[in-house]
Amino acid sequence: MGLFIVLILSLLLLNILLLIYLLIRKQAQQQLSEEKQRVEVVLNKELDLFAKGEIPRIRRHFKRDELFFEILEERVGQYKQLIADEDIVERLNVLTSLELAENYRQKLKARSWSTRMNTLYFIEDFKLAELKDDIWTAFTEQNSQRDETYQMARTLATLQDTRLLKKLTASSGEWPDFLLKECFRRYKDDLILEQLMEIDHFTEIVQIALLDVVTESITISAQPIFINLLESPSLELRVRGLKALVYFDQLPEDQFYIHFHESGEWVERMLFAKIVSRHRKQRFTEILIKLLSDSNWWVRQSAAEALVNFPDGLLMLEHVYKKNEDAFARDIAYQWLGQEVGDQ
């Protein structure tokens, strides 16, 4: 009986202690919330003054603790999303450099993986170039997990670090294709064009990633490089060159690409048809009609699609359907005639 009473009293005491803990915790959270609201109100006023150029930086009466840094991160991020004025955005970048750089430098060395990752994201968002060397040191030490290493590479690329660019272009397969592209996309056009000039010295995986990124936004200065690719012994590189021609505003002379309609590779024949379709080169209609008999379905589809883009394309397909002796050509013509009539 005595043991039972002791057990009951122990449970009661445990519940009382738990209740006290929860009350203290709730009060602490409430105090933190109130403190955060108070700091937010004052800090918002400071940010408004700073954004207007009325004060050179946030005044020192703010305690630089984790609450301050957290609120500043949130508010600056919100400002940059809402404000399009480049001068204000530049001032905010200066502010983050003044207030957050040293804090982030310490957090890059934190034992917590999530802390280091979040810090890398913030450095990238705020473009804190003064932390490039710190990130590069951690990157080259290769003591990090794969995800963190990849994010360090992305952040360095955003910060236009040329050491990383040199390392990526020297890759022989150690960096995955998707990461190469993500990093190349972050670099400014002039740096990427410089790499294009040296493309013959890179491995094929780097060449392909670089060309895929440049193809997304082709400049006039890059066009000769893609035209030269059409003579490459590598099928992958020739394909990148042909894909680029699809998006050119103006095609080079016929001699550079007309022979691909007779290529032994179906993908090159298909891309020839897509080039003709995109640029509406009606002088190639006879070649397109010939490609309607191609052994590959994708080539036939692309050729038929190109013909439909011409003013008299349906008439040509109708003639093929009625007169052509090739079953492939008649079948693809019938499909497109039915589809176009149905869409009208």
Is there a domain that residue 110 lies in? yes
The whole-chain average pLDDT of the chain stands at 85
pLDDT at position 267: 95
Is there a domain that residue 300 lies in? yes
Is there a domain that residue 343 lies in? yes
pLDDT interval class at 341 (50, 70, 90): very low
User: What is the number of structural domains in the chain?
Assistant: 2
Domain that holds residue 96: 33-53+71-127
pLDDT interval class at 220 (50, 70, 90): low
* Last-in-domain residue among 127, 153, 172: 127
Is there a domain that residue 262 lies in? no
* Last-in-domain residue among 127, 145, 170: 127
Is there a domain that residue 121 lies in? yes
Is there a domain that residue 200 lies in? no
Is there a domain that residue 206 lies in? no
Percent of the chain beyond pLDDT 70?
93
Out of 15-29, 109-123, 221-235, which region has the weakest mean confidence (pLDDT)? 15-29
pLDDT interval class at 218 (50, 70, 90): low
Q: Quick: pLDDT tens for 159-185.
A: 999 999 999 999 888 899 999 999 999
Helix (H), strand (E), coil (C) string for the chain: CHHHHHHHHHHHHHHHHHHHHHHHHHHHHHHHHHHHHHHHHHHHHHHHHHHCCCCCCCCCCCCCCHHHHHHHHHHHHHHHHHCCCHHHHHHHHHHHHHHHHHHHHHHCCCCCHHHHHHHHHHHHHHCCHHHHHHHHHHHHHCCCCHHHHHHHHHHHHHCCCHHHHHHHHCCCCCCCHHHHHHHHHHCCHHHHHHHHHCHHHCCHHHHHHHHHHHHCCCCHHHHHHHHHHCCCCCHHHHHHHHHHHHHCCCCCCHHHCHHHHHCCCHHHHHHHHHHHHHHCCHHHHHHHHHHCCCCCHHHHHHHHHHHHCCCCHHHHHHHHHHHCCCHHHHHHHHHHHHHHHHHC
Is there a domain that residue 253 lies in? no
Most confident listed range (9-18, 19-28, 297-306): 297-306
Q: Hey, what are 61's tokens?
A: 């009466």
> Does residue 344 surpass a pLDDT of 50?
no
Question: Once rounded to an integer, what is the mean pLDDT over residues 87-104?
Answer: 85
pTM of the complete model = 0.67
